[in-house]
Amino acid sequence: MFQSVPLAPPDAILGLAEAFAKDPNPAKINLGIGVFCDETGKTPILASVKEAERRLLETEASKGYLPIDGSPAYTQAVQAMLFGADHEAITSRRVSTSHTPGGTAALRVSADFIRKNFPKATVWLSDPTWPNHPQIFEAAGVPVKVYPYFDAASNGLAFERTLAALGQVAAGDFVLLHGCCHNPTGIDPTVEQWRQIAATLAARGATALIDFAYQGFGRGLTEDAAGLLAILQPGVELLVCSSFSKNFGLYKERVGALTAVSKDAETATRVQSQIKAVIRANYSNPPSHGGAVVATILGDTALRAQWEQELAAMRDRINGMRSLFVASLKAAGVPRDFSFIERQLGMFSFSGLTKDQVQTLRDQHAIYMVGSGRINVAGMRPATMGRLCEAIKSVL
Ligand X SMILES: Cc1ncc(COP(=O)(O)O)c(C=O)c1O
Which positions lie near ligand X, rule CB under 6 A?
34, 102-104, 130, 178, 183, 211, 213, 243, 245, 256
Q: Kindly state the smallest distance separating residue 347's Cβ from ligand X, in Å.
A: 8
Residue type, 367: I
Exposed e or buried b per residue across 262-287, where buried means at least 16 C-beta atoms within 10 angstroms of its C-beta: beeeeebeebbeebbebbeeeeebbb
Q: Which helix (H) or strand (E) holds 218?
A: none
Q: Kindly state the smallest distance separating residue 241's Cβ from ligand X, in Å.
A: 7
CB-nearer residue toward ligand X: 226 or 346 = 346
Tally of helices (H runs) and strands (E runs) in the chain:
15, 13
Instruction: Point out the catalytic residue in the list 69, 211, 224, 307.
Output: 211
Question: CA torsion sign, 285 to 291 to 296 to 299?
Answer: negative
Q: Kindly state the smallest distance separating residue 330's Cβ from ligand X, in Å.
A: 29
Q: Kindly state the smallest distance separating residue 348's Cβ from ligand X, in Å.
A: 8
Instruction: Point out the catalytic residue in the list 69, 194, 224, 246.
Output: 246
User: Could you confirm whether 211 is annotated as catalytic?
Assistant: yes
Q: Give the number of other CB atoms < 10 A from CB of residue 249.
A: 21
Q: Kindly state the smallest distance separating residue 247's Cβ from ligand X, in Å.
A: 10
Report which of 160, 118, 162 is spatially closest to residue 142, judged by C-alpha positions.
Answer: 118
- 124-129 contacts at long range (C-beta below 8 A, 24 or more positions apart): 124/165, 124/166, 124/169, 124/173, 124/174, 124/175, 124/176, 124/206, 125/176, 126/150, 126/162, 126/176, 126/177, 126/178, 126/182, 128/184, 128/185, 128/350, 128/372, 129/176, 129/178, 129/183, 129/184
Q: Kindly state the smallest distance separating residue 127's Cβ from ligand X, in Å.
A: 14
Instruction: Point out the catalytic residue in the list 124, 130, 194, 307.
Output: 130
CB-nearer residue toward ligand X: 103 or 216 = 103
CB-nearer residue toward ligand X: 189 or 256 = 256
Q: What is the DSSP letter of 335?
A: S
DSSP strands (E only) in the chain: 29-30, 95-100, 123-127, 144-148, 150-151, 156-157, 174-178, 207-212, 238-243, 256-261, 348-350, 367-368, 374-376
Cα separation of 342 and 107, whole Å?
Answer: 30
β-pairing, 174-178 with 123-127? parallel
Cα separation of 258 and 75, whole Å?
Answer: 9
User: Could you confirm whether 246 is annotated as catalytic?
Assistant: yes
SS3 call for 160: helix
User: Could you confirm whether 50 is annotated as catalytic?
Assistant: no
CB-nearer residue toward ligand X: 89 or 109 = 109
Q: Kindly state the smallest distance separating residue 227's Cβ from ligand X, in Å.
A: 14
Cα separation of 240 and 220, whole Å?
Answer: 18
Active site residues: 130, 211, 246
